Amino acid sequence: MSIEPCAESVAEPLSEPLSERAVDALPPLDTAPTALVALAREAGYRSTPAPLAETLLVARPLLAAAGLAVPDGQLTVAAGPLDVRFTHVDTDSRVGPSGAAGTDDALRVSGTLHRVPWARAAEAAVVLTEGPGGGPVLFLLEATEWRQVAGTNLAGEPRDDLVLLDVAVPAERVRRIPAALVREATWRSGLARAALIAGAARRCVELTVDHTSSRVQFGRPLSHFQAVKQEEAKLVEEAALVAAAVEAAASALSEPDSAEFTAWLAAAQAAASVAEITRIAHQLHGAIGFTELSPLRLATTRMWSWRDEDSGERAWQQRIGRHVLDGGSGGLWQQVTGG
Amino acid sequence: MTLSDLDLGAVQLPPEATRLRQEVRDFLAAERAAGTVLGRPDSWLTGWDPAFTRRLARRGWIGMTLPRAYGGGGRSNLERYVVIEELLAAGAPVSAHWVADRQAGPTILRHGTEAQRNHFLPRIAAGACFFSIGMSEQDSGSDLASVRTRAERTANGWRLTGTKMWTGGAHVNDHAIVLARTDESEDRHAGLSQFIVDLRDPHVRVEPIRLLSGEHTFNYCHLEGVELTDEALLGRPGDGWRQVTGELALERSGPERFLSTLPLLSALVGQLQRTGACSPEQQARVGRLTARLASIRQLSLGVAAALAAGRPADVQAALVKDLGTRFEGELVNEVREILPIAARFDATRGSYPELLATAILHAPGYTLRGGTNEILRGIITRGLELSR
């Protein structure tokens, strides 16, 4: 499967060149969180060929939280086990086994990070892994420091493996981070993916409404058939549901107490709604939606991938379920209402 | 309407809503301790407890949005939303005042005469005057404009003849707001009017229609030549259709359209917590339901906020009702899968098998009442057409 160049797919009124809008002109670092989520939704709507959601909602906030400078350009995020050693081992240290302490935080890193979104288009990658002294570390890798093995998801979006061969990461690009920031990386990724799904769901609705109101069979538009109306309404509803969940998570981004759980809810709902939204959109499109003649696939194939990425539908649901079941009686309703 | 209008955005509840929510929770905890029947599915339909209603009224939680001048609370729609969602989530017995609080009060405020407002609104807010909805008939369900109940002009007012059907609580409530034809007209939507009818009138005969569970909430309401003065007319003659459709957004988007079976889910969670170890499968299924519940609630809050701001939200209300009431039924099916225990209507009241039985036996109603979902989907797609 080839990578879809987005410009090819984008019909009116989306003809504005994406390279000028979404890719080159990243919003300033102090942009409001709700506006960042809106941009991620737009990227999902437009099938933007860049790690915009990853940059805005995950990589930049993580770097800022870790106290690292945020580089210009598109960023991606990767997490996973790596072989990580201190560049300058503190041989005088009596803490832990040999090599468990360094004279500074500079690292030498080897290993493979799997299926990293848009790595080939990113200037740098934010990497989270277990540090040599135990405990999580976050560091910034520059694109020149990894070797890339190209891979793609169901939509043909790049999901590249990054091979690191004894890469030296200077101390100024490394931070030891609290476990909470590792969790934040997870829920932020889930929210980013949910925002993309919300945008793509909107695209499914628009394309489907366009199709059913213009396609004529038996002398009338498809949208005049009761059976079609029933399904179309459910499509609209399910897309609205995802949008509502994502908007709630967006506005909770500025509330430390509820941001994480609300992001889980959005990630779980967005992933769970993909099946119904894509089913109805394709059914109402008829044969053309199943082919490259229609742009519908740009939305649906992405949604089929996104629901499984960043831990996936089941994992989000389990996190929520565990949280609710651990919460004592009345816990479910209290969680839903935010306390 | 455009597609963007379906995106209602996030609703931030005001800080006073948080305090209010806690007050309601404290009240409910005390009621629970006192043994008031709580935790029941569909409590807004079958939980008839006038004493509980009066205790709520003393807290100022009935007629909250009515102006203080009429005995109301003068509070916002979102504050009322918080109170009723807490009551419904707790499965509290709120059916006695439900229609009076949700529908009759706001309708009388909007369309009633000063005399009607002064008479009814303080009584509604005091939890001392209960209403039924007199809209549906044998041949007029979703197609409400086809009602045959007639109000004929008399020397002193009107004479009302016909039979209303599915009239919830007509056997226990005080009044019904009846939609009747006052004028034969080419336009079916013209010539309809609303009347406030005393259900204790000797010419009103209430006949039970039992639910498939044997429970009695519905009735026929035979109006056998009920003599009404002009005082009984609500709003203007011929404006009945417009007035009724104005009520529908209130009726469709509230938390009773997705919380009817939540007490069953809460009971399930309690049951799973008592048994200890939950499988990852059970966790995931509880999580899936929780995410859907929370998302539907966000949409419903969005409609409440839109209505409070005076924005039209008929399409959005229809959307919430379809999603929410389907969820009420899905929840019951899911709960059966998560913890397969046979439902028993004759098990101890409040036990898990009995709550499950109640929720199952009520399930056909969720997607019918307040406008059949198939018809509501037509409202949604008509909204899409108008947006093009």
Contact B378 A233 (CB under 8 A): yes
Q: Which residues of chain B are within 8 Å of residue A35 when distances are taken between CB atoms?
A: none
Least Cα separation, residue A248 to chain B (angstroms):
5
Residue pair A173/A109 in contact (Cβ under 8 Å)? The answer is no
Residue type, B168: G
Contact B287 A316 (CB under 8 A): yes
Q: What is the pLDDT of residues A232-288, one digit of tens each?
A: 999 999 999 999 999 999 999 999 889 999 999 999 999 999 999 999 999 999 999
Is the pLDDT confidence value at A16 over 70?
A: no
Whether residues A2 and A87 fall in one domain: no
Least Cα separation, residue B211 to chain A (angstroms):
28
Is the pLDDT confidence value at A8 over 60?
A: no
Residues contacting A80, CB < 8 A, separation 6+: A111, A112, A113, A114, A129
Work out the average pLDDT over B322-334.
98
What is the Cα–Cα distance from A86 to A101, expressed in whole angstroms?
7
Is the pLDDT confidence value at B310 over 70?
A: yes
Length of chain B: 388
Residue pair B195/B157 in contact (Cβ under 8 Å)? The answer is no
Percent of chain B whose predicted confidence (pLDDT) is above 70? 99
pLDDT at B275: 85
Residue pair B141/B372 in contact (Cβ under 8 Å)? The answer is yes
Whether residues A142 and A249 fall in one domain: no
pLDDT at A110: 98
Work out the average pLDDT over B45-70.
97
Q: How far is C-alpha B302 from the geometric centre of its chain's CA atoms?
A: 18
* Among A236, A251, A336, beta carbon nearest to B6: A236
pLDDT at B230: 95
pLDDT at A226: 96
Whether ipTM tops 0.85, in short, is yes
Is the pLDDT confidence value at B365 over 70?
A: yes
Whether residues A168 and A311 fall in one domain: no
DSSP state of A19: I
Percent of chain A whose predicted confidence (pLDDT) is above 90? 84
What is the Cα–Cα distance from B250 to B177, expressed in whole angstroms?
15
Domains and CATH numbers, chain B: 3-129 (1.10.540.10), 133-236 (2.40.110.10), 253-386 (1.20.140.10)
**Alpha helices in chain B, H assignment, sequence order:** 15-33, 43-46, 50-58, 77-89, 95-99, 105-111, 114-125, 240-252, 262-275, 280-308, 314-338, 352-366, 373-386
Least Cα separation, residue B135 to chain A (angstroms):
25
pLDDT at A2: 39
Whether residues A259 and A333 fall in one domain: yes
What is the Cα–Cα distance from A321 to A308, expressed in whole angstroms?
18
Give the residue, B208 or A338, on which the prediction is more confident. Answer: B208
Nearest to B66 by CA among B76, B81, B54: B76
CATH number (domain holding residue A155): 2.40.110.10
Percent of chain B whose predicted confidence (pLDDT) is above 90? 83
Q: Which residues of chain A are within 8 Å of residue B275 when distances are taken between CB atoms?
A: none
Residue pair B301/B81 in contact (Cβ under 8 Å)? The answer is yes
Whether residues A170 and A224 fall in one domain: no
Nearest to B381 by CA among A225, A168, A56, A257: A225
Whether residues A59 and A80 fall in one domain: no
Whether residues A189 and A338 fall in one domain: yes
- Best of A320, A322, A329 to substitute, by most chain B Cβ atoms within 10 angstroms, is A320
Instruction: Give the least confident one: A3-7, A215-219, B75-79, B160-164.
Output: A3-7
What is the Cα–Cα distance from B277 to B284, expressed in whole angstroms?
14
Is the pLDDT confidence value at A17 over 50?
A: no
Q: Which residues of chain B are within 8 Å of residue A336 when distances are taken between CB atoms?
A: 290, 293-294, 297
Number of compact structural domains in chain A: 2
Q: How far is C-alpha B214 from the geometric centre of its chain's CA atoms?
A: 21
Q: What is the distance between the terminal CA atoms of chain A, rounded to a whole angstrom?
A: 47
Antiparallel, parallel or unpaired: β A75-79 and A83-86: unpaired
What is the Cα–Cα distance from B144 to B244, expressed in whole angstroms?
9
Contact B3 A335 (CB under 8 A): no
What is the Cα–Cα distance from A42 to A37, expressed in whole angstroms?
9
Domain boundary among A121, A148, A177: A177
Whether residues A61 and A98 fall in one domain: no
Give the residue, B185 or B146, on which the prediction is more confident. Answer: B146
pLDDT at A23: 53
Contact B374 A230 (CB under 8 A): yes
pLDDT at B40: 95
Nearest to A40 by CA among A274, A302, A232, A255: A302
- Best of B283, B300, B327, B387 to substitute, by most chain A Cβ atoms within 10 angstroms, is B283
Domain boundary among A125, A148, A177: A177
* Among A241, A251, A322, beta carbon nearest to B323: A241
CATH number (domain holding residue A35): 1.20.140.10
For residue A102, the enclosing domain spans: 71-177
Residue pair B178/B160 in contact (Cβ under 8 Å)? The answer is yes
- Residue A214, Cβ density class (10 Å: 0-12 exposed, 13-18 middle, ≥19 buried): exposed
Domain boundary among A154, A177, A200: A177
Whether residues A37 and A106 fall in one domain: no
Nearest to B295 by CA among A320, A231, A303: A320
Whether residues A159 and A243 fall in one domain: no
The helix (run of H) or strand (run of E) holding residue B59 is none
Whether residues A188 and A209 fall in one domain: yes
pLDDT at B387: 76
What is the Cα–Cα distance from B60 to B55, expressed in whole angstroms?
9
pLDDT bucket at A330, cuts 50 / 70 / 90: low
pLDDT at A19: 43
Is the pLDDT confidence value at A10 over 70?
A: no
Q: Which residues of chain A are within 8 Å of residue B283 when distances are taken between CB atoms?
A: 317-318, 321-322, 325
What is the Cα–Cα distance from A38 to A269, expressed in whole angstroms?
17
Question: Quick one: closest CA in B to A234, which residue?
Answer: B377
**Dihedral, CA of residue B378, residue B380, residue B386 and residue B387, to nearest 10:** -150
Question: Quick one: closest CA in B to A212, which residue?
Answer: B385
Q: What is the pLDDT of residues B154-179, one digit of tens each?
A: 999 999 999 999 999 999 999 999 99
pLDDT at B2: 66
Q: From the CA atom positions of chain B, what is the Rg in Å? A: 21
Residue pair B221/B161 in contact (Cβ under 8 Å)? The answer is no
pLDDT at A121: 96
pLDDT at B314: 86
- Residue B23, Cβ density class (10 Å: 0-12 exposed, 13-18 middle, ≥19 buried): middle
Whether residues A161 and A50 fall in one domain: no
Is the pLDDT confidence value at A13 over 50?
A: no
Least Cα separation, residue B351 to chain A (angstroms):
15
Question: Quick one: closest CA in B to A241, which residue?
Answer: B295
pLDDT at A91: 87
Contact A265 B290 (CB under 8 A): yes
Q: What is the pLDDT of residues A27-66, one digit of tens each?
A: 999 999 999 999 999 999 999 999 999 999 999 999 999 9
**Average predicted confidence (pLDDT) for chain A:** 92
